[in-house]
Amino acid sequence: MKSATAKVAIVTGAGSGIGRAVSLALLGSGWSVALAGRRAALLDETAAMAGEAADRALPCATNVAEPASVAALFEATKARFGRLDLLFNNAGTGAPPVPLEELSFDQWKRVVDVNLTGAFLCTQAAFRLMKDQDPRGGRIINNGSISAHVPRPRSVAYTATKHAITGLTRSTSLDGRAYGIACGQIDIGNAATEMTKAMGKGHGVMQANGSIAPEAVMDVSAVADAVLYMAALPPEANVQFMTVMATAMPFIGRG
């Protein structure tokens, strides 16, 4: 059933963590949301968590690294909702924290395929849909990460792709201007999800000097609120870059 009033979003990586939190925030604010991710069961869980808003959720099992899978996602979204107002490029993966010289080609390629090629394929599909719809245009938000600015030790693949996302954001913002397509980037530091559970008290993460130390984390709802703010801006306004991070995490300074 097509929605006559709700704005429409696609969220990749919607089955867990930041993607799930953002999807639920959008659904709770009246959006219709296509939930994209590799595991259908987790997408169904996200939809169920939306309660009465679940009828505006469309779970779509998707491999963002595969062009045909991405095409099917966008076709399903258009068929169900009629248009697309927001793409949140959030799907991402990492590689084992091994020394740079020990990272295998397959490990490198998997991270590049998901984090960079996947974001590009989704952006390309969004352009095709947004430039031809009426009213024309829309918004793309990329999850850049603090790693778009500075690396963690033994994270060459993840860091390289997140630096590349900044280039994708800039090019998308420029090339989308002619079609009313805005693009911004949110760089997130230490949101409390399953992926960052080992960072907190009683655990720790490798620091630049090789030591292991716990780091401050923030509630993932702060990220969802920030994305919701970016998404709700009028077409003539855009947040080009935003950093949302745990206040006490060791990012600013030499710590």
Q: Cα separations (Å) of 128 from 136, 166, 222?
A: 11, 21, 31
Q: Which of 127, 146, 158, 224 is catalytic?
A: 158
Nearest CA among 151, 87, 94, 79 for reference residue 119:
87
Q: Note if 179 is an active site residue.
A: no
Residue 218: φ, ψ to 5°: -125, 160
253: Cα separation from own chain's centroid:
27
- Do 24 and 54 form a contact (C-beta atoms < 8 A)? no
Nearest CA among 8, 30, 37, 34 for reference residue 139:
8
Which residues have a catalytic role annotated? 158
